[in-house]
Amino acid sequence: MNIKKVLELLVKEKKTIGFAESMTGGSASAEITKLEGASKVFKGSIITYTNEIKEKFLDEVTENVIIAFGVVSKEVALRMARSVRKALNVDIGISITGYASIDSSIKERRVFVGFSTENNEIAYEVKVQNESRVEVINLTVNYIYTKLEELLEF
């Protein structure tokens, strides 16, 4: 992962980004803000850790959508990315939804990230296995910046 290169590409292409983060709790946003010049491309983030907050601040993530697809799904990741892109008025909306660990109510760890621009949207499932909670979060943040670099270079 080369966040500095992502920042340079965003500056070069005059693109802005914003995040809707759930499972990562702001970690993806924190990474880019560590770099000088981040304010040229990073407008902000909305941390939507619970369903209630997703529904309140991300207009396309409704209770019906969560019931139909599950809160951790490609559909919700796409809607989160689209909603944050519009809410923050950025060129690229990026979302993260997932389960970083397993407990009695969560049988399977799954993580989805979404990317939304005015003309294109795509979501990916991040493959996680037996990593710790912190490792899943870090893996997801790395994945986001790696994918963003690939998308910007395409």
Residue 30 vs residue 133, higher pLDDT: 30
Domain ranges of the chain: 3-153
**Above 70 in pLDDT, residue 67?**
yes
CB-side neighbour CA atoms (13 Å) of 54: 28
Do residues 63 and 50 lie in contact, with contact meaning Cβ atoms separated by under 8 Å?
no
The pLDDT of residue 10: 97
Amino acid 104 reads S
Q: What share of the chain is helix, strand, coil (3-state, %, to 5)?
A: 45, 20, 35
The whole-angstrom separation of Cα 25 and Cα 113 is 14
* Contacts (Cβ under 8 Å, ≥6 apart) of 125: 74, 110, 111, 112
The whole-angstrom separation of Cα 92 and Cα 84 is 9
Tokens 């690939």, residue located: 150
- Burial (CB count within 10 angstroms: exposed 0-12, middle 13-18, buried 19+), residue 3: buried
CA distances from 15 to 115, 118, 147 (A): 13, 12, 15
**Above 60 in pLDDT, residue 104?**
no
Average pLDDT over all residues of the chain: 93
Task: Provide the whole-model pTM.
Answer: 0.94
Q: pLDDT > 90: what percent of the chain? A: 85
* Contacts (Cβ under 8 Å, ≥6 apart) of 127: none
The pLDDT of residue 25: 96
Yes or no: is domain 3-153 CATH 3.40.50.720?
no
What tokens appear for 57 in the block? 């601040």
